[in-house]
Structure formats: structure tokens, C-alpha cells
Amino acid sequence: MFQVYLPVAEMSVNLLVMLGLGAAVGFLSGMFGVGGGFLLTPLLMFSGIPPAIAVATAANQIVASSVSGALAQWRRGNIDFRMGLVLILGGVAGAIAGVLLVGLLHRLGHADVFISLVYVIFLGLIGSLMLAESIGAVWRARAGKPATMRKPGDHTWIHGLPLKMRFQRSRLYISAIPPLILGAIVGLLAAVLGAGGGFIIVPAMIYLLRMPTHIVIGTSLFQIIFVTAVVTVLYAVMNQTLDILLAFLLVIGGVIGGQFGANAGQKLKGEQLRLLLAVIVLAVALRLLVGLLVTPDDLFSLSPVVGTW
């Protein structure tokens, strides 16, 4: 009952489970202000969806969820289109490299292990850093100490690089090299992990490029739309791993869950939200690590072989 057949994944899934999964990720996205792709892909893998299909489908879901946010930021004037274009150029290059890499590993039969291993390392590192920072912030808040912030006017080594461009909306005059590299990293992550990379690019743009926070959020959403769209098209054309039906179910659930998550997020303090998100990220990384280390019940599988004598 409520079973739906996914033609690309070649498996049946429970309709309510997929809708609930999309709603859960949408809830987390609305609560924490992140795309949710870095959580959606592992959760799809836990549900039995092959990793290559989970990555492509998660990237497609991010496109839909980022459009409304980018439109809202555009109406507020919070998008630096010139910076966004530079990030997109780097992101497209990184996305192409990532899709080609995953396609090669998929043909060799190593894509599943590679994606899971990258997720364990990446989520473990990010989750640990977030946990340490959030615990420190909670401790400082309870002790009545102000949060330590770097001055926005400080210059770093980035300002000494060549190929400088003027980004008027961000009020910056810096080299185009760091945004290009940053965009390429995000594009590579989007292709390999099915994540938009907002949780990487947002702090990097704030602390490395010294962009205003409100401009960072809008510009990040703007570039994520195009980079994940490129990833989606490449997976559909080159690797044939995009399941439209699964993506549709996740988008429906995500839209519903996002509304409740946004309301829930307003009831918690910033350091409490970061602490909760860090715990969730580390829990997902631990679950993936267990899946890599635990010996499966069936070491071998049997299938009929048809040949000519």
C-alpha cells in the first residue's frame, strides 16, 4: 500500500516515507537556513536509494528550494550579480569535473563507497568544527561574555592577489581568483555530494572575502540555483541517474516542512541552532561510518549467468 515505483532507481518506495523524508529535510532547512542537500543525500542512501541517484536527485531538489529564497533576496536588493557570475563560472567548472569523476567511479563500481567515504570525512570535519564553535558560543553567552568577531575592515592576503575586480554591491575591490576557486569547490561538492554548498560558501564569503552578511545570503542562493541546475542536467544527460519522480515527491514534502521549520527556528537562539545542527551532522556522519565498517550479512550475491557454449 502507498508503494511507488521509481523508474530510474528501479525500486519501489513508500510514498509516505518519501514525502516525510522531504518534509523532514525541509523542516531542517527552514530551521537552520541551509539547503539541506548535505543531509538529504545520506538520508536517501539510508532509505536504500543508490548513492549516485541520491546525489543527482538531491541536487535537483536544491534547485527548486533555492529559487524562492533567491527571489525574495533579489526583491530586497541582497544579490551581488557580478560576484554571483564569478562564482557560477568557477562552480560550473567544478561541477563538470565532479560529474565526470562520479560517472567514472560508477562505471568502475566504486561510486557508492567513494560518496559514503567523502560524506563521512566531510560531515565529520564540519560537524566537529560546528560543535566546538557552538559549545563555545553557548558557554560565552551563559558567562555574559560578548561573541568574538573579526573587524570587517581588516585586510587579508586575499587583497594582495592580482586580477582585481570591483564588486560594487558588496563594496569590494578584490581579486577574482578566490571567488573562482571558491565557486569551483562548491561546484565539485554539489556534484559529488548532491549538496548546494551553502554551509561552506557562506562563511567563506563572510570571513575570507569580507562581504556583508545580507549580501552573502542572497548571492549564495543565486549561484546555487545555476550550479545545481548544471549538476542536475549533467547527471540526467551523461550518467542517467536523475529520478524525476523521486525529486517531485521530495520537493512537495520539502515545501511543506520548510514552513514549519522556519517557525520553529525563530524560537531558538543562534548558538542553540548551531549546536543542534552540529549534533545532527555528526549523527549522520557516524551512521555512514558504521555502514562502511560493519560487515554486511551477505558477503556474496548469486545471480544467473547467461552465456554461449
Transcribe 30-73 into DSSP letters. HHH-S--HHHHHHHHHHTT--HHHHHHHHHHHHHHHHHHHHHHH
Q: How many domains does the chain have?
A: 1
Find, among 48, 63, 62, 58, the residue nearest to 9 by Cα: 48
Q: How confident is the model at residue 296 (pLDDT cuts 50, 70, 90)?
A: low
Evaluate whether residue 296 is within a structural domain. Answer: no
User: Which cell numbers hold the place of 288?
Assistant: 555512514
Q: How confident is the model at residue 21 (pLDDT cuts 50, 70, 90)?
A: confident
Task: Quote the pLDDT of residue 196.
Answer: 64
Q: For residue 307, is pLDDT > 70?
A: no
- Asked if residues 257 and 32 have their Cβ atoms less than 8 Å apart, the reply is no
Evaluate whether residue 154 is within a structural domain. Answer: yes
Evaluate whether residue 61 is within a structural domain. Answer: yes
> Chain centroid to CA 89: how far?
18
Evaluate whether residue 18 is within a structural domain. Answer: yes
- Asked if residues 69 and 221 have their Cβ atoms less than 8 Å apart, the reply is yes
Q: How confident is the model at residue 265 (pLDDT cuts 50, 70, 90)?
A: low
Q: For residue 154, is pLDDT > 60?
A: no
Find, among 125, 127, 115, the residue nearest to 191 by Cα: 115
Evaluate whether residue 60 is within a structural domain. Answer: yes
Task: Quote the pLDDT of residue 93.
Answer: 92
- Asked if residues 19 and 175 have their Cβ atoms less than 8 Å apart, the reply is no
Q: How confident is the model at residue 303 (pLDDT cuts 50, 70, 90)?
A: very low
| Cα 22 from Cα 263, distance rounded (Å) | 17
User: Which cell numbers hold the place of 240?
Assistant: 542517467
| Cα 58 from Cα 36, distance rounded (Å) | 9
Please name the residue that has the C-alpha cell 560524506. Answer: 119
pLDDT tens-digit readout, 37-80: 677 777 888 888 887 788 777 777 777 667 766 777 788 788 88
List of long-range contacts for 196-202, beta carbons under 8 Å, 24+ apart: 196/35, 196/37, 196/59, 196/62, 196/66, 196/224, 196/227, 196/228, 197/35, 197/224, 197/227, 198/34, 198/35, 198/224, 199/34, 199/35, 199/38, 199/126, 200/126, 201/87
Task: Quote the pLDDT of residue 205.
Answer: 78
Q: How confident is the model at residue 297 (pLDDT cuts 50, 70, 90)?
A: low
Q: Where are the alpha helices (DSSP H) in 164-243?
A: 177-193, 198-207, 213-234
Residue 93's domain spans which residues? 3-291
| Cα 264 from Cα 259, distance rounded (Å) | 9
pTM of the predicted protein model: 0.67
Evaluate whether residue 308 is within a structural domain. Answer: no
Task: Quote the pLDDT of residue 18.
Answer: 85
Q: For residue 89, is pLDDT > 90?
A: yes
Task: Quote the pLDDT of residue 172.
Answer: 80
Evaluate whether residue 193 is within a structural domain. Answer: yes
Please give the mean pLDDT across all residues of the chain.
75
| Cα 34 from Cα 27, distance rounded (Å) | 10
Task: Quote the pLDDT of residue 250.
Answer: 83
pLDDT tens-digit readout, 242-254: 788 888 888 888 7
* pLDDT over 90 percentage in the chain: 2
Task: Quote the pLDDT of residue 283.
Answer: 81
| Cα 128 from Cα 283, distance rounded (Å) | 11
Evaluate whether residue 303 is within a structural domain. Answer: no
16 or 153: whose pLDDT is higher? 16
Which amino acid is present at 27?
F
Q: Indicate the Cα dihedral angle 232, 192, 47, 124, nearest 10°.
A: -140
- Asked if residues 56 and 283 have their Cβ atoms less than 8 Å apart, the reply is no
Please name the residue that has the C-alpha cell 570525512. Answer: 121
Question: 94 - beta bridge partners?
Answer: none
- Asked if residues 203 and 109 have their Cβ atoms less than 8 Å apart, the reply is no
Output the CA–CA distances (angstroms, integers) from residue 222 to 87, 186, 285, 287, in the order listed.
Answer: 10, 13, 28, 32
Output the CA–CA distances (angstroms, integers) from residue 4 to 1, 15, 76, 246, in the order listed.
Answer: 9, 6, 41, 9
